[in-house]
Amino acid sequence: MLETPEHKDLLGRKVGVGSFVAFTQNNRLFVGRVIKLNRQMLRIERIKHTKWMADQTNKYSHDCVVIPDKDVDFYILRNITK
């Protein structure tokens, strides 16, 4: 029987599917949503997509920080027109 892996972010908070996280890649900071929990890593989909970078990435959970939903809503509303 397969067990669901338990992941914790840099601050020790639990990360699950649907959690919003901040993570770095290529010297930039991104906001994304966890779409899958792998055995050791998280599959993350970026909120704001770019043409030159893939929409999804795998990251270790200790390389991410969970963001409260209220702050993500503010980020989306602020950047929706750009």
What CATH number corresponds to the domain at position 40? 2.30.30
What is the domain extent for residue 47? 7-79
Tokens of 50: 């770019």
Confidence class for position 17, pLDDT limits 50, 70, 90: very high
* Number of compact structural domains in the chain: 1
pLDDT on residue 2: 63
Rounded Cα–Cα distance for residues 63 and 52 (Å): 22
User: For the segment 25-44, what is each residue's pLDDT rounded down to a tens digit?
Assistant: 889 888 899 999 999 999 99
Q: Considering the domain boundaries, does residue 62 fall inside one?
A: yes
Q: Considering the domain boundaries, does residue 1 fall inside one?
A: no
pTM for the model stands at 0.78
Is residue 2 assigned to a domain? Answer: no
Q: Is residue 66 part of a domain?
A: yes
Contact 68, 54 (CB under 8 A): no
| CB of 35 closer than 8 Å to CB of 45 | yes
pLDDT digits (tens, 9 = 90+) for 47-56: 877 667 778 9
pLDDT of residue 81: 57
DSSP E strands in 3-50: the ranges are: 7-8, 14-15, 20-25, 28-37, 41-46
Residue 46 has pLDDT above 60, yes or no: yes
In a domain, 11, yes or no: yes
Does residue 31 sit within a domain?
yes
Residue 55's beta-bridge partner residues? none
